[in-house]
Amino acid sequence: MPDSSANPRKVIPIVASANPGPAELPADADEVMVSLYQAQKKIYPRSVSGLFSQWRWVMVWITQLVFYGIPWLQWGERQAVLFDLGARRFYIFNLVLYPQDFIYLTGILVISAYSLFLFTAVAGRLWCGYACPQTVYTEMFLWLEKLAEGDRSARMRRDEGPWSFDKISRKFAKHFMWLTLAFWTGLTFVGYFTPIHQLAGELLALQMTSWEAFWTIFYGFATYGNAGFMREQVCKYMCPYARFQSAMFDKDTLIVTYDAERGENRGPRARKADPKALGLGDCVDCSLCVQVCPTGIDIRNGLQYECIGCGACADVCDTVMDKMGYARGLVRYSTEHAVKEHWSRGDIIRHVFRPRVMIYSAILALIVVGMAVSLILRSPFKVDVVRDRGSLARIAEGGNIENVYRLQIMNATEATQRFKISATGLPGLAVASEEAVTIESTQSRWVPVRLQVPYGSSAGGSHPIEFVVDDLDSGERVVEKAVFLVPR
Ligand code: SF4
Ligand code: SF4
């Protein structure tokens, strides 16, 4: 048995290694360096064009036109979409929501979650590759980077070279464009919570409130950091979705996949050479699929959790196949079953409609319909009843027994509403205070209400009653339960 004490080797943990590769130790070294964190090699994704790249840019345009454009839309006298946290009102086009409408936010979150499950079961990380803000902003920042510093090889060369005027001015231009875009993104984000016309005026006059300035800078720097520097690290180490997505995958889920049966043995060859005669498959081992990958992985190693399904490797491999005169699709969107069983496109589409997908679709459709119906049937006003804790029950003038309540009436429309308050549930029960109430548009008001019953008309104790609030203009009615106390 080797005697370990004869050559005690000291293990020195270090926080980060400057050299990402394995440490080379002299033969007589008696210390082993163990890195607790793998230093990351900077990834320089090569730009790529092709079908999937075009789709990603379509999604960049759609998502960003919506994000940057919506706060500038007007709806009558106000901003079309505004989450006014101070006034506790959320305006979404013609909808005015109160915090009590939280159920709709829950509904939107549930719909988003089920949509994600459904799309992931069908087409893998479609969201990650095309619509996730991290992907979209990274794409935009990469475009600006290319504009200032050129494509991959130029950027790598410049980064390795000494600091020159050209290098400094290009870096400055890049960071200036990044910061401008990031700051504009932060301002737009805040514009969903503060009317953006007002915000733009405050910005020009340098009169933003401290909270507005804080959130603009915070969101702007988060965008700058995530899209400019952290990039694939966010997908690999921070995003929880990458971790649990495999639970939603099955063998019929569309993934970006390398057809190893067709591609191997990989190796370079002349364009006119016969690969079969050389014992080669269709992969020419050009490594372009690795160079374009935003997460720096090699799709030829199989499905990896780092793969965001962006299709960049499929696009670039198709261009290589075109140049070589081979059929496209060595790297393609396909399913595990399809690659193994050599399925046609029709077979793949047929397998989309499998039980799991049908169940997700049915649940999603039910929730969407339920939420739509609930929104359509939503009452244009809300009523909350609170008993006046100061007085439980008392004998009023004229000998009637009186209970006092406070009704919060919330006008959920943008027109003034007139209401009539009444109550039922006990013989002789009547409203002794003002029955008619007017509430201005989108306002809510606490209304004190006194109810009375004739003395002796009801037994002592607690009696269930109902408040009835009628909208005199629309005819809508809201009924709220309450209790009336009669002293024993
Ligand atoms: S791009 Fe295609 S041909 Fe080139 S290494 Fe990747 S898989 Fe092989
Ligand atoms: S492996 Fe291909 S699809 Fe996956 S992230 Fe890299 S380039 Fe995109």
Q: What is the CA(296)–ligand 2 centre distance, in A?
A: 8
Q: Are 278 and 255 in contact (CB under 8 A)?
A: no
Q: What is the CA(344)–ligand 1 centre distance, in A?
A: 22
Residues sharing a CB contact under 8 Å with residue 145, sequence separation 6 or more, in sequence order: 155, 174, 178
Q: Are 444 and 411 in contact (CB under 8 A)?
A: yes
Helices 165-190, 133-149: crossing angle, 10 deg rounding: 150
* Phi, psi dihedrals of residue 396, rounded to the nearest 5°: -90, 175
Average pLDDT of the segment spanning 70-82? 94
Rounded CA separation 412/433 (Å): 24
Ligand nearest to the CA of 256: 2
Give tens-digit pLDDT for 3-18.
Answer: 433 343 444 443 333 3
Provide the CB-side half-sphere exposure for 169 (13 A, CA).
Answer: 3
Q: Report pLDDT for 58.
A: 97
Q: What is the CA(337)–ligand 2 centre distance, in A?
A: 20
Helices 355-376, 102-123: crossing angle, 10 deg rounding: 160
Q: Report pLDDT for 31.
A: 60
Give tens-digit pLDDT for 170-206.
Answer: 999 999 999 999 999 999 999 999 999 999 999 999 9
Ligand nearest to the CA of 138: 2
Q: What is the CA(370)–ligand 1 centre distance, in A?
A: 48
What's the mean pLDDT when you consider all of the chain? 89
Q: Are 337 and 326 in contact (CB under 8 A)?
A: no
Q: Report pLDDT for 370.
A: 94
Q: Report pLDDT for 10.
A: 43
Rounded CA separation 479/413 (Å): 19
Rounded CA separation 227/210 (Å): 25
Ligand nearest to the CA of 258: 1
Give tens-digit pLDDT for 329-385.
Answer: 999 999 999 999 999 999 999 999 999 899 999 999 999 999 999 988 888 899 999
Number of the ligand 2 atom closest to the C-alpha atom of 309:
3
One-letter identity of residue 297:
I
Q: Report pLDDT for 94.
A: 87
Rounded CA separation 487/396 (Å): 13
Q: Which residue has the tokens 């979705």?
A: 241
> Where does the pLDDT of residue 394 fall: very low under 50, low under 70, confident under 90, or very high at 90 and above?
confident
Residues sharing a CB contact under 8 Å with residue 307, sequence separation 6 or more, in sequence order: 125, 255, 256, 295, 297, 299
Q: Are 309 and 128 in contact (CB under 8 A)?
A: yes
Rounded CA separation 214/8 (Å): 55
> Where does the pLDDT of residue 32 fall: very low under 50, low under 70, confident under 90, or very high at 90 and above?
low
Average pLDDT of the segment spanning 143-158? 95
> Which residue of 262, 285, 323 sits with most ligand 1 atoms within 8 Å of its CB, as the best mutation to test the pocket?
285
> Which residue of 310, 317, 320, 333 sits with most ligand 2 atoms within 8 Å of its CB, as the best mutation to test the pocket?
310
Q: Which residue has the tokens 């939420």?
A: 371
Q: Is the pLDDT of residue 30 over 80?
A: no
Q: Is the pLDDT of residue 251 over 60?
A: yes
267-275 contacts at long range (C-beta below 8 A, 24 or more positions apart): 271/323, 271/324, 271/325
Residue nearest to ligand 2 atom 7, measured at CA: 293
Q: Report pLDDT for 229.
A: 93
Give tens-digit pLDDT for 277-334.
Answer: 999 999 999 999 999 999 999 999 998 888 999 999 999 999 999 999 999 999 999 9
Q: Is the CB of 255 under 6 A from ligand 2?
A: no
Ligand 1 proximal residues by C-beta, below 6 Å = 258, 263, 266, 283-289, 300, 316-317, 320, 330-331
> Which residue of 232, 233, 313 sits with most ligand 2 atoms within 8 Å of its CB, as the best mutation to test the pocket?
313
Q: Is the pLDDT of residue 19 over 70?
A: no
Give tens-digit pLDDT for 448-483.
Answer: 999 999 988 889 899 999 999 999 988 999 999 999
pTM above 0.75, yes or no: yes
Q: Is the CB of 281 under 6 A from ligand 2?
A: no
Q: Is the pLDDT of residue 419 over 90?
A: yes
Q: Are 266 and 301 in contact (CB under 8 A)?
A: no
Q: Report pLDDT for 212.
A: 95
Q: Is the pLDDT of residue 245 over 90?
A: no
Q: Report pLDDT for 176.
A: 98
Q: Report pLDDT for 36.
A: 58
DSSP letters for 329-395? -SEEEE-HHHHHHT--HHHHHHTTS-HHHHHHHHHHHHHHHHHHHHHHT--SEEEEEEE-TT-S-EE
> Which residue of 256, 292, 304 sits with most ligand 2 atoms within 8 Å of its CB, as the best mutation to test the pocket?
256
Q: Which helix (H) or strand (E) holds 11?
A: strand 10-14
